[in-house]
Structure 1
Amino acid sequence: MMRDVWSNLEELRSEVTDGQRGRSLLVTVMAEYWGEEGAMAPSGALVDLMSAFDVSASGTRTLLSRLTREGRLVAAKEGRRSFYALSPTAHHRLAEGFEVLRKFGTGLEPADREWTMLLFSIPEEQRSARQQLRKGLSWMGFAPLYDGAWVSSRARGDQAMSLCRDLGVEAASVVRGSITAVGTQFGDPTDAWDLDYARRLYASFTAFLEEPLGKLRADGLTPPEALRARTESINVFRGFPRFDPDLPLAGLTPDWPRRTARDAFAELYEGTAEASLGYVRSVVQLHSPAHVQDVSVRRLTPAGGSPASA
């Protein structure tokens, strides 16, 4: 049983990170602790922090250079020291994605049964555009009900059409409303998602959180362990909206595990926030005391607002 659990978790990690664990974790660390626009992280501090994830110093430096070339990070120099910040584009995308996670699994999904359907046709010679469209739609919360017919429980028609225009798709339409299945074996909108697979992923993730949550409750997590557990958990949790984009509960089984997984994640994520923040600041202090003020921490509860899970 445990072998299946860990196999499913590793599969989810692979789906989320495209097999590039170190790269994904580095971007997550930047988003979690240097999420304020323009906040600069000393390269030496990032090297030290990434060692908590078993990423070597040379590996971290290689990742920093690669992410800078790709436009995900911007680099700056102060004397001989190097500093990195999220690029404006990366900052916007990561902030937008985090806002989705604030609400995900809280029971605030749409109560209605209206769906958005994107209908499109792309010639065979535009295979690259088709692949990019499918990938983009997946991240928006769409899934293929039929070939060329993708559905979403969210009102994302404008975003889907914008993506079509950006990719040069010339034949596409958006429909918003209820969907009635004709067939008896397939055709309900939720059939577009592999719900058995999503359930296994939820079970694997919840099992993965048991050990760090046990330590957290017993005050047994060291600051580096808190950083690792917090970063690893959100790095995986952020992939769930691809497999279950807050599908309406009315179309799922009563024991659907989304809320259970969300509650376990939120307890660990929020419970390790202060220890992780203190640890990151202590590492930055060793490299550039003037930049400690750039370090912040993201919370599921927005500053001055009510809890996202309320």
Structure 2
Amino acid sequence: MKPRSLITTLFGDYIQFYGWEIWVGSLIKLMEKFGISESSVRGAILRMNKQGLLTVRKVGNKSYYSVTPKGKPRIEDGVRRVYSIGNRKWDGNWRIVSYSMPEELRDLRNQVRKELSWIGFGMLSNSLWVSPNYIENQVMDMIKNYNLEDYMVLFSSSKIVSHRNEDIIQKAWDFNELSKDYECFISTFQEKYEYFKEKAWEGHLSDEECFIERTYLVHEYRKFLFKDPGFPNDLLPENWIGNRARELFFNIHQLISIGAVRYFEEIFVKAPDQDIQVRREQAVNPFSDF
């Protein structure tokens, strides 16, 4: 695991339910379980601090890190999508983004492409992206945050005249490749699921092991947010393998979450001046029907 990516996972999966702030010593100890050194942790949080994603405050001789308003929306959106039960129906509308930027803004253009891919758009051509999802608000926020009013236009249409919906999906997304990735996930974690069930039944599943395995599970599943557009059910292929992967993710998560949260609470140290409302139940079971 890369340090920055793991920090994001820990904030989204645990720390947000304990006030969004953690002592750096706790963070170092948690990340040590994944083979990440103290110097790597400190280097990652320093870079995230410089990028405006994390902020630090001193209480006595201890440093406490929290996510900034700039960093929170991305983490919250990731958590929402990872733990969404789904079952949505398509509203029949395509969201279409068109943009044109001069060459001197190519870095911004590349960032916009990453953002569009992250929120579930597929590329029809270099500057034309589409999505069947209700994500107008995310696009409008992106236009505002990056000052794209002069370069980007967002449309919504209930009809594509020249092609079938299936043609658009096939052109803009590679579901065959995505299926292979889900097959790998299932192959890896189905075996783990059987192992966890047996160990839990025997009472030999430690809290530390639960924490490591839940964090690893979420970390690996979160990677699909960059690949899977999260289509409504009626646009997905028949017997979509992603649904089986999600069910497996849910089953493993439910099996090991209580122990994982117990271990996190054992390591977690809040600031002495911080009065927080602990949302332990949500930390154990973050799944919601968004």
Q: What TM-score do the two structures reach when normalised by structure 1?
A: 0.78
CA contact (8 A) 2:99 2:152 kept: yes
Classify the secondary structure of the residue corresponding to 1:151: strand
The alignment status of 1:22 with 2:6, answered yes or no, reads: no
The alignment status of 1:50 with 2:31, answered yes or no, reads: yes
CA contact (8 A) 1:181 1:188 kept: no
- Give the letter aligned to residue 105 of structure 2: Q
The alignment status of 1:82 with 2:63, answered yes or no, reads: yes
Classify the secondary structure of the residue corresponding to 2:83: helix
C-alpha change, 1:91 and 1:163, in structure 2 (3 Å) is closer
- Give the letter aligned to residue 222 of structure 2: R
CA contact (8 A) 2:90 2:133 kept: no
Matched residue, 1:176? 156
Q: In percent, how many aligned pairs have the same letter?
A: 25
C-alpha change, 1:197 and 1:270, in structure 2 (3 Å) is same
C-alpha change, 1:73 and 1:162, in structure 2 (3 Å) is closer
Q: What TM-score do the two structures reach when normalised by structure 2?
A: 0.83
Report the Cα offset of residue 44 of structure 1.
1.7
Which runs of 5 or more structure 2 residues have no equivalent in the other structure? none
Matched residue, 1:265? 249
Distance in 2 between the 1:64 and 1:129 partners? 24
Report the Cα offset of residue 63 of structure 1.
2.1
Matched residue, 1:203? 183
Report the Cα offset of residue 262 of structure 1.
0.8
- Give the letter aligned to residue 40 of structure 1: E
CA contact (8 A) 1:122 1:130 kept: yes
CA contact (8 A) 1:102 1:300 kept: no
The alignment status of 1:109 with 2:93, answered yes or no, reads: no
Report the Cα offset of residue 255 of structure 1.
2.0
Report the Cα offset of residue 159 of structure 1.
3.4
The alignment status of 1:97 with 2:78, answered yes or no, reads: yes
Report the Cα offset of residue 301 of structure 1.
5.1
C-alpha change, 1:56 and 1:254, in structure 2 (3 Å) is same
C-alpha change, 1:208 and 1:290, in structure 2 (3 Å) is farther
Distance in 1 between the 2:86 and 2:148 partners? 37
Once superposed, what is the RMSD of the aligned Cα atoms? 3.1
Distance in 2 between the 1:226 and 1:292 partners? 28
Report the Cα offset of residue 89 of structure 1.
2.6
1:183-194 aligned at under 5 Å gives the runs 187-194=167-174
The alignment status of 1:151 with 2:130, answered yes or no, reads: yes
Classify the secondary structure of the residue corresponding to 2:268: helix
Distance in 2 between the 1:172 and 1:66 partners? 30
CA contact (8 A) 1:190 1:251 kept: no
Corresponding pairs, count: 283
1:205-244 aligned at under 5 Å gives the runs 205-218=185-198, 219=200, 220-244=204-228
Distance in 1 between the 2:6 and 2:40 partners? 12
The alignment status of 1:135 with 2:114, answered yes or no, reads: yes
Distance in 1 between the 2:151 and 2:272 partners? 56
**1:161-192 superposed Cα distances (whole Å, 9 cap, x missing partner):** 443453435243333223447469x9423420
